């Protein structure tokens, strides 16, 4: 079965760092893009960025460039989304998503990781 | 890159048909046949309903159909059912962003 398994919920304080993960299984991890999507409480979906684990080609939405870092370790079929200094406004659900190409076709979604940033 | 424009809400009675619009520009919806639609129930991950404007993935009901005219894409749900009550998002390829993808603002579908 093809699936993306995301790491568990996180509760952090402003200024702390965080790295969440998304592990792919049941398919060739290096042959598909992995995208990250933010959903703030009660709000819509926002593309943050995507990575091609095969060659680490990474693209960011202008809104998230410099705010987060997307990476992947193909040896363990895992993609990451990380922050160096969290803000309260980073409180959201974060989904990873499998994309066959850079078009907006997501055929497999992770269940999401809730990140709560509060002092 | 601004989000694509969708109506905030659409409603219909069971059995009726409804259409959700998704308006962009010639740099996204109008310029490429790469529009996808997602259904999201509360507390759940989105689900792909339509891709490449009008293609339905295996397992998605044929009550869902997609189309495009100019800079506006549309999702039609026919024979509306209670289980169709959810949020719906369009997404398009775009040449206006380094990320190449943009979502719509989202539409809440209510089954009366």
Question: A79 pairs with which residues across the strands?
Answer: A22, A72
Which sign does the torsion angle of CA B72, A43, A7, A80 carry? Answer: positive
**A95: closest chain B residue by CA:** B45
Contact B101 A95 (CB under 8 A): no
**Average of per-residue pLDDT values in chain B:** 95
Contact B48 A110 (CB under 8 A): no
B45, B101, B106 member nearest A112 (Cβ): B45
- Confidence check: pLDDT of B99 > 80: no
Dist. CA A12–CA A38, nearest whole Å: 17
Best to test chain B binding among A57, A70, A101, A104 (most B CBs inside 10 Å)? A104
Dist. CA A17–CA A74, nearest whole Å: 23
Neighbour count for residue B61 (Cβ, 10 Å)? 14
The alpha carbon torsion through A60, A61, A62, A68 (nearest 10 deg) reads -60
Dist. CA B104–CA B112, nearest whole Å: 24
The mean per-residue pLDDT over the stretch B21-41 comes to 96
Query: pLDDT digits over A75-95, tens only?
Result: 999 999 999 999 999 999 999
Dist. CA A102–CA A64, nearest whole Å: 17
Dist. CA A70–CA B9, nearest whole Å: 34
Decide if B101 touches A, using CB distance below 8 A: yes
Query: Smallest CA–CA separation between B98 and chain A, in Å?
Result: 6
Query: pLDDT digits over B51-89, tens only?
Result: 999 999 999 999 999 999 999 999 999 999 999 999 999
- Confidence check: pLDDT of B20 > 90: yes
- Residue closest to B88 by CA, chosen among B50, B33, B31: B50
Which letter does DSSP use for residue A111 in this model? -
């Amino acid at each position: 079965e093809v699936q993306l398994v995301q790491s568990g919920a996180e509760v952090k304080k402003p200024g702390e760092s965080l790295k969440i993960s998304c592990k792919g299984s049941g398919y060739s991890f290096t042959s598909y893009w992995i995208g990250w999507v933010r959903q703030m409480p009660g709000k819509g979906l926002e593309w943050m960025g995507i990575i091609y684990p095969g060659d680490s080609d990474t693209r960011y939405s202008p809104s998230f460039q410099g705010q987060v870092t997307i990476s992947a370790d193909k040896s363990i079929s895992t993609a990451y989304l990380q922050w160096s200094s969290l803000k309260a406004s980073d409180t959201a659900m974060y989904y990873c998503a499998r994309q066959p190409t850079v078009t907006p076709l997501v055929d497999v979604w992770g269940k999401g990781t809730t990140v709560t940033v509060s002092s | 890159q601004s989000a694509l424009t969708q109506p905030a809400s659409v409603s219909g009675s069971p059995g009726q048909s409804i259409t959700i619009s998704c308006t962009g520009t010639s740099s996204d919806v109008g310029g490429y046949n790469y529009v996808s639609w997602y259904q999201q129930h509360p507390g759940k991950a989105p689900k792909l309903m339509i891709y490449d404007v009008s293609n339905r993935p295996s397992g998605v009901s044929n009550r869902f159909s997609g189309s495009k005219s100019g800079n506006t894409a549309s999702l039609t749900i026919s024979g509306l059912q209670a289980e169709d009550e959810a949020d719906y998002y369009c997404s398009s390829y775009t040449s206006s962003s380094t990320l190449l993808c943009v979502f719509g603002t989202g539409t809440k579908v209510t089954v009366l």
